[in-house]
Amino acid sequence: MIHIPGRGLRSYDKVAPGDPTTTVRQAAPGSDSAPLAYVHVPQDAPKGGRQARPAFTLTGPDGQPLSSVRSLGDGVYEVYGGDGAPLGRITRRAGRILPWPRRVRWSVQPARGEALTGEVGTRTAWAVFVLISPLYFLCWAVMAAQGSLWLLLGEKGEAKKEAAWEMEPPTWTRWRAADESVPAVEYRSGRKYRLVANRLDHRLACAQAVLHVWDRA
């Protein structure tokens, strides 16, 4: 299990020069959240948008280079090892509603081995999300009105509590080969990923996890 905080990925241009943007940590019970890798994003990197995230690198706890990721545009990313050798390619296919619904799909193609694909959210979860969305917007309007009232009364803390609530879209993502039922990488919630040993190079898996967290941050 690994955990990647998402906040730093949104504000990498505010990180002190030389400091990592965020840290990939172990999340398994008893691991004590030990760091596995540090994510570095250049402060002057352009934002790029969902289909062209900034280039970034991963270094180990002792500073050794692990991998580098660069965007080719249109949701395609090349991943290289610390020695410059290609590790594989990561692709993000955007979701859409019309002319027919399509979920966001991530694909990981290792330099050697079978491709893994994962769609964000299950069909059932998205159907429920769409059905209850009108109720969410009604609740949001009520809470926004309550927050405004708290602001008028000078209670900024209470106003922040009212504004903090939000309904997140489905997130469950499982990366697996076409002929396999057990995922090699699985994400449920909390920016935590379960990686199956020996199914995917951990450097490639961490690069995919960073891009996936960035997509949801």
Q: How far is CA 13 from CA 5, 18, 45, 68, 187, in A?
A: 16, 12, 8, 18, 27
Per-residue model confidence as pLDDT tens digits over 197-206: 889 999 999 9
Q: Is 210 strand, coil or helix?
A: helix
Q: Is 123 strand, coil or helix?
A: helix
- For residue 142 the two structure tokens come to 């009520």
pTM: 0.83
Q: Which residues, 6 or more positions from 126, have their beta carbon under 8 angstroms from its beta carbon?
A: 101, 103, 169, 170
More confident residue, 210 or 47: 210
Residue 125 and residue 176 in contact, taking contact as beta carbons nearer than 8 Å: no
CA distance 77 to 211: 9
Identify residue 214 by its one-letter amino acid code. W
Per-residue model confidence as pLDDT tens digits over 116-128: 999 998 878 777 7
CA distance 182 to 137: 36
Residue carrying the six token digits 């002057």: 44
Per-residue model confidence as pLDDT tens digits over 5-34: 988 888 888 888 889 999 999 998 888 889
